[in-house]
Amino acid sequence: MEKLWSKDYVLNIVGNLLLFVVFYLLMVYTTKLAITEFNVSVSEAGLASGIFIVGALIARLVISRYVVSLVEKEC
């Protein structure tokens, strides 16, 4: 019987957790940077943060299709 908590599984969990934390810290930092450095209002900083989120979503959708096509070519 295989172990549930294998080394690869734990490394995947830690890697995804770090990626998640970095993504959301960038979102918060983008808003703070826009307010302090560029002297914009809170609503404009929120718009910048929202654009960052939408850009990340679009990038994930595009990259996922590219990765799927690469996997299909290997099989």
- In which domain, by residue range, is 55 found? 7-74
Q: Does some domain include residue 1? A: no
Structure tokens at 1: 């019987």
Question: Residue 33: what pLDDT?
Answer: 92
Q: Does some domain include residue 52? A: yes
H-helix or E-strand spanning residue 72? helix 42-74
CB-based contacts of 56, cutoff 8 Å, min separation 6: 23
Q: Does some domain include residue 23? A: yes
* The total number of structural domains that make up the chain: 1
- What CA–CA distance (Å, rounded) separates 50 from 26? 12
pLDDT over threshold 80, residue 74: no
Is there a contact between 43 and 65 (Cβ–Cβ < 8 Å)?
no
Q: Does some domain include residue 37? A: yes
Q: Does some domain include residue 48? A: yes
Q: Does some domain include residue 30? A: yes
pLDDT band, residue 32 (cuts 50/70/90): very high
Nearest residue to 19 (alpha-carbon basis) of 11, 7, 30 = 11
Q: Does some domain include residue 12? A: yes
pLDDT band, residue 21 (cuts 50/70/90): very high
pLDDT single digits (tens) 55-64: 989 998 999 9
Q: Does some domain include residue 2? A: no
